[in-house]
Every structure is written in C-alpha cells, then in structure tokens.
Structure 1
Amino acid sequence: MKKYKVGYTTGVYDMFHIGHLNILKKAKEQCEYLIVGVTTDELVSYKNKKAIIPHEERMAIVESIKFVDQVVSQESMDKMAAWDKYKFDVMFVGSDWKGTDKWNEFERQFGKVGVDIVYFPYTQGTSSTKLRNVLDKIMKNDDSSSGVK
C-alpha cells in the first residue's frame, strides 16, 4: 500500500522534459491518486517570462502521462486554496524550493492541517530555462545569419 492517498504537485511544464517526468513518476510511487496543477499562461508571469507551449497544450501533455490521475489548472500560487479544493494529504515539490521563505511558510501552514511536503531532488543538467536559453541562442544565430535584427 502506498504511503499517501492523494498527492498534489504543480508546475509550468513548459517544454516537458525528463525532470518533469521524474517528479511525476516519483510522486505517483508514493500516492494512490496524483493531482497535477498546470500553471496557467497568466500565472507563468511569476517567473518573469511567457510559456512557449500554450496552457491547454501543456495540460494535454501532462494529462497523457500514465502517472497522472487528474490534471487541473493552477490559477493561483495559494497552495492552501488548492488544499481546500482538492484535500490532498501530501504535496510534492522539487528540492530547489526547500528552505526558501515561501516553502518554509507552506510547511508551517500545511503542518496545521496534517499535510506533508515531500521534496524530490532537482534534476541536474535539465530545465526549461536551460532549454529556453539554447533556443534563444539558436534564434539569435538564425537572425544574425539571415540579416534579421
């Protein structure tokens, strides 16, 4: 039997990569039912950027992953509001957030309602930011070789 009944995790899932797959697989290994919040295009602005893949397409990609039981739109960064709605007993998140003021506060809030936070190791070497940087370099090279500025 799995340790948790309902798990919850969120992400932008732009340019889906192995790090995304790893967190979903590891989360599903620990819970019977996994709910995944996919950040809306409007909310992606918290990362000071725009998603390359539109929200509906990112939802469809995540929904097709066999480890995912339910996909929902993440329209707010308020994790307690998500808990009020979905009543999960564990939240999964990447270890890059551990120890931050924001997640220390989430730990305090979730502790009051009996929700655990499980941090998974960040996948070194792969991130949507790195993929975006490579694409930006390619686009700049294409623009400069074609005379486009």
Structure 2
Amino acid sequence: MASDDCSSKLIAAVVLGGIVLSSSLFALHLLHLPALSSPGEALWGWTRRRKKPVRVYMDGCFDMMHYGHCNALRQARALGDVLVVGVVSDDEITANKGPPVTPLHERMIMVGAVKWVDEVIPDAPYAITEEFMKKLFNEYNIDYIIHGDDPCLMPDGTDAYALAKKAGRYKQIKRTEGVSSTDIVGTPTFVL
C-alpha cells in the first residue's frame, strides 16, 4: 500500500510540475518581451538567429510599361525578400537612349503599382556609378544589384553594370524576348 501511495504522490507531483512549468512558459510567451526571441532564451540563454532579409535592387527606364518589365520585376523579387527599384531620370534616358515617352512621375507610379515592388527610388542613374553603388549598399542596405541578361551599354560601349559585377554583388535574370519599349519607339537619331 505504501508504494502505491508513493507512486500516486510522484505522479501528482510530476503532473503539477508540468502544469506550473507550462503555465510559466506560456506567461513568458504572452509577455512578448522584446529582448527575448523565445521562452527558451529566458530560461536557458538560448538565442535564435533572425534571418536578415535579402534586399535586391533593379533599375530601369520602365518607359511605356509592358509585360517584359513586369516579368523582370517578378524575377528580381524572386532573388530577394525586398525589391527596391530605381527609375531612371528623364535626363539620363534622353542622354543615353533618346527622350522618354512617359514622364518620370508617371513611370514611378506604374512601377510602384507592381505587386513585386517594395520601394521605388526616383532619378536613378542610367549606369551604376561608384557613388550611387555606395549609396545603394550603405543607405538602402542593398545586397545585390539585378539586371537582365541583355547587354546594357553606355553610348561609349562600356557596360553600365561593370562596377556591380566587379564588386561581386550582381545577379542576372532572363530577359523577356520579343518586347522592348526601345523597339516600339524606334532607335533615336541624334543630331550633332
């Protein structure tokens, strides 16, 4: 009889202890203490690393917005958690490709309306300069610069993404074939 009484008391103590421990952990969870990422951290000092979101940047003229632009933005967003899009200024487009059909403020509205775009930067340069690249990395916390697999050349023939490639922070997506604002508008003829 004494051993049955001891067993009953032991079982009751274990059950009661489990209830108290569970209630304590649940109360800690409800408190949402900002310094604690889990109840285990409160009791045993465990920490769980929080994954930093990958921020990617893509720029473009986005003149006469079409499905090729949307497909590029979709692919770029798939390479990160946050997509920041630079919309090239009217002056930069004019200097490198000819005058845009759609003004900057309208192009920004269209780009910002695309569901894969998280942030929009106005007046992006046509080519990634060292100064702008530092701004992307330091102010916007960009991890990678994205562009399509079509060559993006400056009027002098240099690669507009050469610095990003050299920095090892460049990723490439597949260009959507068969659609291009430049082809629709036609190649500009510059008068010197």
TM range (shorter): 0.7 to 0.9
Q: Residue 59 of structure 2 contacts residue 124 of structure 2 at CA under 8 Å; is this kept in 1?
A: no
Q: Read off the aligned partner of 2:175 and give its amino acid letter.
A: Y
Aligned counterpart for 1:16 among listed residues 65, 87, 96: 65
Say yes or no: does 1:83 pair with 2:137.
yes
Name which one, 1 or 2, has greater alpha-carbon Rg: 2
Say yes or no: does 1:103 pair with 2:161.
yes
Matches of 1:94 and 1:30, distance apart in 2: 13
Q: Read off the aligned partner of 2:71 and give its amino acid letter.
A: N
Shift of 1:56: 0.1
Q: Read off the aligned partner of 1:125 and give its amino acid letter.
A: G
Q: Tell me, which stretches of 5 or more residues in structure 2 are unaligned? A: 1-50
Q: Read off the aligned partner of 2:161 and give its amino acid letter.
A: W
Shift of 1:67: 0.3
Q: Read off the aligned partner of 2:136 and give its amino acid letter.
A: A
Matches of 1:91 and 1:103, distance apart in 2: 9
- Indicate the residue corresponding to 1:146 in structure 2: none
Matches of 1:16 and 1:24, distance apart in 2: 11
TM-score normalized with structure 1 length: 0.75
Say yes or no: does 1:56 pair with 2:105.
yes
SS of the equivalent of 1:42 reads: helix
Matches of 2:160 and 2:181, distance apart in 1: 21
Task: Report Cα offsets for 1:78-108 as digits up to 9, x if no partner.
Answer: 2414333312001110111389644344311
Say yes or no: does 1:46 pair with 2:121.
no
Shift of 1:55: 0.3
- Indicate the residue corresponding to 2:146 in structure 1: 92
Matches of 1:32 and 1:73, distance apart in 2: 21
- Indicate the residue corresponding to 1:147 in structure 2: none
Task: Report Cα offsets for 1:86-145 as digits up to 9, x if no partner.
Answer: 12001110111389644344311x23xxxx311112221110012113xx9xxxxxxxxx
Larger displacement relative to structure 2 (15-24 or 99-108): 99-108
TM-score normalized with structure 2 length: 0.59
Cα 1:121–1:75 shift into 2, 3 Å: closer
- Indicate the residue corresponding to 1:35 in structure 2: 84
Larger displacement relative to structure 2 (118-127 or 99-108): 99-108
Shift of 1:32: 0.9
- Alignment RMSD (CA, Å): 2.7
Of all paired residues, the percent bearing the same amino acid is 30
Q: Residue 44 of structure 1 contacts residue 50 of structure 1 at CA under 8 Å; is this kept in 2?
A: yes
Larger displacement relative to structure 2 (88-97 or 51-60): 88-97
Matches of 2:184 and 2:142, distance apart in 1: 32
Cα 1:3–1:30 shift into 2, 3 Å: farther
Task: Report Cα offsets for 1:6-42 as digits up to 9, x if no partner.
Answer: 0100000001111111110011112111100001111
